Amino acid sequence: MKKLSTLLAATAIVTLMAGSAWSKTLVYCSEASPEGFDPGLYTGGQTFDASSRTVYNRLVEFKHGSTELEPGLAESWEVAADGTEYTFKLRPGVKFQTTEFFTPTRELNADDVIFSFERQYKADNPWNKYVAGASWEYFSGMGFPDLIESITKVDDLTVKFKLKRAEAPFLANLGMDFASVLSKEYADKLAADGKMELMNQQPLGTGPFTFVAYQTDAAIRYKANPDYWAGKEKIDDLVFAITTDAAIRAQKLKAGECHIMPYPNAADVAELKKDDNLTVLEQEGLNVSYLAYNTLVPPFDKAEVRKALNMAVNKQAIVDAVFQGAAKVAKNPIPPTMWSYNDAIEDDKYDPEAAKKMLEDAGVKDLKMKIWAMPVARPYMLNARRAAELMQADLAAVGVTVEIVSYEWAEYLKLSSAKDRDGAAILGWTGDNGDPDNFLDTLLGCDAVGGNNRAQWCNKEFDDLMTKAKATADVAERTKYYEEAQVIFKKEAPWNTLDHSLVFVPLSKKVSGFVMDPLGIHRFNGVDIAE
Amino acid sequence: MAVVEIKTITPPNGLAEFWFYFSRNKGAVIGLAVFVIILVLAAFAAFVAPHSPSIQNREVLLLPPAWVEGGRLTYFLGTDAVGRDILSRLIYGARFSLFIGVVVVSISVVSGVLVGLIAGYFRGRTDTIIMRVMDIILAFPSLLLALVLVAVLGPGLVNAMIAISLVNLPHFVRLTRAAVMTERTKDYVIASKVAGAGTLRLMFLTILPNCLAPLIVQATLAFSAAILDAAALGFLGMGAQPPTPEWGTMLAEAREFIQRAWWVVTFPGLAILITVLAINLMGDGLRDALDPKLKRS
Amino acid sequence: MLRFIFGRLAVLVPTFIGVSIIAFSFIRLLPGDPVMLMSGERVMSPERHTQLMADLGLDRPIYIQYFDYLVNLLQGDFGSSIVTKRAVLTDFLQLFPATVELSLCAIILAVALGVPAGVLAAVKRGTWLDQTLMGTALVGYSMPIFWWGLLLVIFFSGYLGWTPVSGRISLMYFFPQVTGFMLVDSLISGQAGAFKSAVTYLILPTIVLATIPLAVIARQTRSAMLEVLGEDYVRTARSKGLSPFRVIGIHALRNALIPVVTTIGLQVGVLLAGAILTETIFSWPGIGKWMVDSVFKRDYQVVQGGLMLIAAVIMVVNLIVDVLYGFINPRIRY
């Protein structure tokens, strides 16, 4: 039965498309299959591009190309003086999409918002476990279950979030993908039909594009939502051509089989830039890669030893060999595109001689250490193994013997958190919401020791600044705290900050209106394509 | 039931006769020559290779081969993404491939023959259980089974060899068992049994030598297959781990340069092909020399 | 005959149980736990970790997990993916036609070229033609196909621009999946150019996947043919003055093909193993790529369910080949 209905839907679409004669189809060569279409359930960027950024909207949205917030489904909002109450006024007249599988009868209201959040933390909500193993990873990852006191409907178009404590990054969190607003009416219908799992297969929201079909591991098809509250898109059809191999994505782009591709191989960027039909956009990613010493284990408990090791490593060489230049050497734990980045800080200079002397002065002789290299490529570190090999060679020059170790990715994540970890670990972080707290406190705060704080570094001074910065919503004041924190970080050197990768998006010159997002999302609203 | 039919095999009358038949196959002789060259290169890699396989010359990243514009004679086949000499890495890589082949064949031959002898000699329930287990192993595509096994054991050269040996096992078990079953009813076996030979003596000294020929041929095939499988696992990222200069692993690392630097993709694959081809040529020659049925035709 | 088939089926049951035990226990032995992987760099609290393990049923004693698994299997429930949360069987059925289509095309190509090549080599035994054909076959047999695929992509897609790089059909075309076979569906759709597009996407993967079976079949055909050509009845037919074409085509080939058919049947496992590499190279959305991706994602349930399903397919195909062998070979009596 299910098969038959999708079949009928698909046939209907074909007729529809034949009518529109392929006018204005934008093809995006996406990097992986979406895990599903309910953004609350997943963490993969490809899933968000394919669901939350096309089909759905949130109360607040990030402005295209920045980490600043702008009104989304909420027209305006008020924050109570103590920072624990947020009241959102919803945009009136927002229609849900009409699709082959569902026709909405009412417009967006407060019930939809409440449903979208409550399903993620209320265990008695029927949607809390609607697919096997639903775990609402981001919702809990951002600490929402311990933060939200209640969400209440004031009237049809007003929703109030009551928090247990003041949390400055809360608003930015609401711009994240897991906070997408779903249709309660659609959900109720699916529940009534006993087909709840379709929520994750046939998404329906208020966003710029309407979901048409997903051909497993091959393509996802959308059409412009004619009822979109911000106006219908200029393109008619949007296709995600799933192409997991970066070299093949590049070839498809060159052959004109797609118009935009994310994540080219660093090695291919130069050649893509040479192509007359293509433009290559670039931006620093919202990420950092680092080598975290274990500051609990001697001799790495001494700041001067860590500093000396930092000075022995030629970071530029790593950037060149691993990224072919597609990254910048990092000096701070937060990326330069983020507010409060302290550009006044000077990086430890690459100076093997001085490093050798500093080690001697610290009484460290014949040091043997392990460097942990991740087994997988991440955006901030494409090849940890290669980076580790380069560090090994550099450190050998100052008399430090390095053994490179690696584990399965899951093992690696687990073992690298251990307080008694033997060796320095390469790892990194990609920002979630553009807030510095999301880097500094998450990765270096005392609470994170034994967890995300891979340096196991707990500095009272630093930690106090984090607490102060969290308690106020005043950005200028927060900036001051974070800048100071970066100074302490550099002095103490719990990490060797390696790089911030550059993110490239090669696209056809026919495409206009595509903007890179520092958050690493790919959005196609506002994009047009020349015939 | 289709049972592999094994003809009686008269052991070759010494090395001379073997060489006579083997050398009649020109391909086999060429294969042997190439194999010996690879063997020598691998053994004396430290003297033959122009560079160290692991030293990175950051001046010459992705240098093309010598005969291409921009190439240098000192880096005859060019360099890879971190400036290592590809020729030297290939020469050292031969060690890994040959080593993999030897280890895999040794493990699967020894254990396969042992298990096969037991199954074929004792028959009955032992036989049924053993053959059922082999059926189970054969029910999976070998590479998939090896892939999952390596995932379980952890990626790496040693685990890859264990996994490949295991998926190779059933072939040797079946072959040995079939051979033993034809032999054990033969007069000479019954004769020595009557003469009071013990079970072990019967199994290893009486029956086994008469089943050797097909095993040798199968072992050659397994040798080349092991090299291919290990390279495939390396290619999928589950074999030897970088920076080990194993050929399949080199290919996997080179994949991202497929558009920009064809040489880092081409040469490791060519090395695999040449080695495997040489061994298979030898295998054909061995079969001709050892299998009297084919000698006739 | 029927007794033979039932006998074989009875043997399949314990084998299948064995397969399920292996698939199940492998996956429990995998290092790293799936819950850690779900959160990535973002470390979760131990309480939450325990909770999620419990949600996935991974905290129960292993034999209970196995028993549940077996019960579910009997109901056709192969579990659902930890990553996508979709049912394993659903994904398998979605992706399997792509693999079947590719494998069928490959085996057809292999037979279409391999059998004539083998016959020709046998008839022209010892000539340069025989040596060239058999030399080529041996190169094909020795080919690391993952490298071969890359070379073809570099040359035909990159350099010449003749064939598309990856996928099953141009995105221009979109029509409902009726059979799951792109060649058939594109014809049914009636869209102009769709079939041609599907063919161009299929060419390179087919060549790559066909390489080894083609070589095996050519070699096998040659030696089977040589054997038959030496038999008395062929000599008799020849001496009776029958045309060489009739002798080779009718008398010899028919008998020579019997072992060849078995070889083709045995290639199914080889094909599926080859599909793993071929699909990975060409991003062909079939079960081979699906399995590799799942192994790398540590998707316990998919690897386990996929192993079971693939093993089941191979066992059934082997059974069919055995039965067919009985039909075409009159010498075998059960």
The pLDDT confidence band at residue C69, using thresholds 50, 70 and 90, is: confident
| Interface check C175 vs A, CB under 8 A | yes
A321 and B58 in contact by Cβ < 8 A? Answer: yes
Return the SS3 of A200: helix
Is the peptide bond prior to B243 cis by the omega test (within 30 degrees of 0)?
yes
Compute the average pLDDT of residues C297-315: 87
**What pLDDT does C92 receive?**
93
Q: At CB < 8 A and 24+ separation, what contacts does B33-40 make?
A: B34/B274, B34/B275, B34/B277, B34/B278, B34/B281, B35/B275, B35/B278, B35/B279, B35/B282, B38/B94, B38/B98, B38/B274, B38/B275, B38/B278, B39/B98
Name which residue leads in pLDDT, A508 or C62: A508
| Interface check C19 vs B, CB under 8 A | yes
* CB pairs A-C closer than 8 Å: 138
User: What residues of B are in contact with residue A313 (Cβ under 8 Å)?
Assistant: none
CB A379 within 8 Å of CB A372: no
Asked whether the ipTM of the predicted complex exceeds the cut of 0.95, the reply is: no
Suggest the residue from B56, B259, B263 to mutate for an interface test with chain A (most A CBs closer than 10 A): B259
Range picked from A115-129, B50-64, C172-186 for highest mean pLDDT: A115-129
Q: Find all residues with CB under 8 Å of A360, minimum gap 6, and list them.
A: none
C36 and A17 in contact by Cβ < 8 A? Answer: no
Q: Count how many domains chain C has.
A: 1
CB C247 within 8 Å of CB C238: yes
User: What residues of B are in contact with residue A267 (Cβ under 8 Å)?
Assistant: 81, 256-257, 259-261
Whole-structure pTM value: 0.81
Touching subunits of C (3+ CB pairs, under 8 Å) are A, B
- Residue whose C-alpha is closest to residue B53's, from B42, B67, B68: B42
Cα separation, A146 vs C225, whole angstroms? 77
Domain assignment present for C315 = no
Instruction: Give the B-side interface with A, CB within 8 Å.
Output: 56, 58, 61, 81-83, 154-155, 241-243, 255-261
Compute the average pLDDT of residues A346-370: 92
> In the predicted model, is pLDDT for residue A12 greater than 60?
no
**What pLDDT does A8 receive?**
41
Domain assignment present for C77 = no
Domain assignment present for C177 = yes
What whole-number percentage of chain A has pLDDT above 90? 63
Compute the average pLDDT of residues B107-118: 92
Mean pLDDT score of chain A: 89
**What pLDDT does A22 receive?**
52
**What pLDDT does C22 receive?**
86
**What pLDDT does B107 receive?**
94
The pLDDT confidence band at residue C213, using thresholds 50, 70 and 90, is: very high
Write the pLDDT tens digit of every residue in C17-66: 888 988 888 777 766 676 776 666 777 777 778 887 887 777 888 888 88
Domain assignment present for C42 = no
Write the pLDDT tens digit of every residue in C245-293: 777 776 777 777 777 777 777 777 788 888 999 998 888 889 999 999 8
CA of A309 to nearest chain C CA: how many angstroms apart?
A: 25
B58 and A320 in contact by Cβ < 8 A? Answer: yes
**What pLDDT does A421 receive?**
92
**What pLDDT does A53 receive?**
94
**What pLDDT does B297 receive?**
37
User: What residues of B are in contact with residue A386 (Cβ under 8 Å)?
Assistant: 81-82, 242-243
Return the SS3 of B239: coil
* Residue bearing tokens 């082949």: B101
How many Cβ atoms sit within 10 Å of the Cβ of residue A357?
14
Indicate left, alpha or beta for A402 from its phi (over 0: left) and psi (-120 to 50: alpha). beta
Cα separation, A203 vs A182, whole angstroms? 9
Least confident of A249-253, B45-49, B186-190, C235-239: C235-239
C172 and A22 in contact by Cβ < 8 A? Answer: yes
Cα-based distances in Å from A126 to A121, A122, A140, A202: 11, 9, 18, 18
Residue A329 pairs in a beta bridge with A499
The pLDDT confidence band at residue B11, using thresholds 50, 70 and 90, is: low
CA of C275 to nearest chain B CA: how many angstroms apart?
A: 10
B276 and C26 in contact by Cβ < 8 A? Answer: no
User: What residues of B are in contact with residue A390 (Cβ under 8 Å)?
Assistant: 56, 82
C54 burial class (0-12, 13-18, 19+ CB within 10 angstroms)?
exposed
Suggest the residue from C165, C294, C299 to mutate for an interface test with chain A (most A CBs closer than 10 A): C165
C19 and B136 in contact by Cβ < 8 A? Answer: yes
Touching subunits of A (3+ CB pairs, under 8 Å) are B, C
Domain assignment present for C179 = yes
CB B235 within 8 Å of CB C280: no
Compute the average pLDDT of residues A185-206: 94
**What pLDDT does C161 receive?**
80
C39 and A137 in contact by Cβ < 8 A? Answer: yes
Domain assignment present for C236 = yes
User: What residues of A are in contact with residue C38 (Cβ under 8 Å)?
Assistant: 43, 135, 137
Residue A60 pairs in a beta bridge with A71
Query: Residue C97 belongs to a domain with what CATH number?
Result: 1.10.3720.10
What whole-number percentage of chain B has pLDDT above 70? 93
Compute the average pLDDT of residues C320-327: 76
Residue C258's domain comprises 88-296
**What pLDDT does C137 receive?**
94
Compute the average pLDDT of residues B191-199: 81
Write the pLDDT tens digit of every residue in B252-270: 888 878 777 889 999 999 9
**What pLDDT does B192 receive?**
82
**What pLDDT does B61 receive?**
81
Touching subunits of B (3+ CB pairs, under 8 Å) are A, C
CB A287 within 8 Å of CB A429: yes
* Residue bearing tokens 């058919």: C261
User: What residues of A are in contact with residue B240 (Cβ under 8 Å)?
Assistant: none
A413 and C36 in contact by Cβ < 8 A? Answer: yes
Query: Which residues 153-212 of C are in CB contact (within 8 Å) with B?
Result: 153-154, 158
Cα separation, C196 vs B275, whole angstroms? 39
Compute the average pLDDT of residues A262-268: 84
User: What residues of A are in contact with residue C165 (Cβ under 8 Å)?
Assistant: 248, 251-252, 255, 257
Name which residue leads in pLDDT, A108 or A2: A108
Least confident of A281-285, B191-195, C129-133: B191-195
Suggest the residue from A4, A248, A287, A438 to mutate for an interface test with chain C (most C CBs closer than 10 A): A248
C280 and B152 in contact by Cβ < 8 A? Answer: no
Cα-based distances in Å from C126 to B297, C121, C135: 12, 8, 12
Compute the average pLDDT of residues A12-32: 66
CB A401 within 8 Å of CB A304: no
C31 and A200 in contact by Cβ < 8 A? Answer: no
* Residue bearing tokens 């050649």: A271
**What pLDDT does A360 receive?**
93
C148 and B133 in contact by Cβ < 8 A? Answer: no
Two tokens at A146? 């311990």
Cα separation, B253 vs B239, whole angstroms? 12
**What pLDDT does A246 receive?**
85
Return the SS3 of A405: strand
> In the predicted model, is pLDDT for residue B293 greater than 60?
no
User: What residues of A are in contact with residue B154 (Cβ under 8 Å)?
Assistant: 408
B212-235 vs B157-183: helix crossing angle, rounded to 10: 160
Write the pLDDT tens digit of every residue in A478-506: 999 999 999 999 999 999 999 999 889 99
Cα-based distances in Å from A180 to A64, A117, A175, A177, B112: 17, 9, 8, 6, 58
Write the pLDDT tens digit of every residue in A129-160: 898 778 888 888 788 988 999 999 999 999 99
**What pLDDT does A94 receive?**
95
Two tokens at C216? 């095996």
Q: Which of A200, A243, A257 sits opposite C283 (nearest CB)?
A: A243
How many Cβ atoms sit within 10 Å of the Cβ of residue A368?
9
Suggest the residue from A216, A254, A372 to mutate for an interface test with chain C (most C CBs closer than 10 A): A216
| Interface check C334 vs B, CB under 8 A | yes
Least confident of A111-115, A252-256, B290-294: B290-294
Q: Which of C19, C29, C138 sits opposite B139 (nearest CB)?
A: C19
**What pLDDT does B5 receive?**
47
> In the predicted model, is pLDDT for residue A275 greater than 80?
yes
**What pLDDT does A92 receive?**
95
**What pLDDT does A372 receive?**
95
The pLDDT confidence band at residue A13, using thresholds 50, 70 and 90, is: very low
Least confident of A358-367, A390-399, A511-520, B233-242: B233-242
Least confident of A334-348, A446-460, C133-147, C263-277: C263-277
Domain assignment present for C124 = yes
Name which residue leads in pLDDT, A22 or A457: A457
> In the predicted model, is pLDDT for residue B9 greater than 60?
no
Least confident of B208-222, C46-60, C230-244: C230-244
Interior angle at CA A277, CA A276 and CA A282, nearest 5: 85
**What pLDDT does C182 receive?**
86
C311 and B132 in contact by Cβ < 8 A? Answer: no
Cα separation, A244 vs B99, whole angstroms? 34
C146 and B281 in contact by Cβ < 8 A? Answer: no
* Residue bearing tokens 């311990």: A146
How many Cβ atoms sit within 10 Å of the Cβ of residue B107?
18
Cα separation, B110 vs B173, whole angstroms? 10
Suggest the residue from A23, A43, A146, A217 to mutate for an interface test with chain C (most C CBs closer than 10 A): A217
**What pLDDT does A4 receive?**
41
Q: Which of C34, C55, C158 sits opposite A251 (nearest CB)?
A: C158
**What pLDDT does B68 receive?**
86
Query: Which residues 273-312 of C are in CB contact (within 8 Å) with A?
Result: 283, 285, 289-290, 293, 298
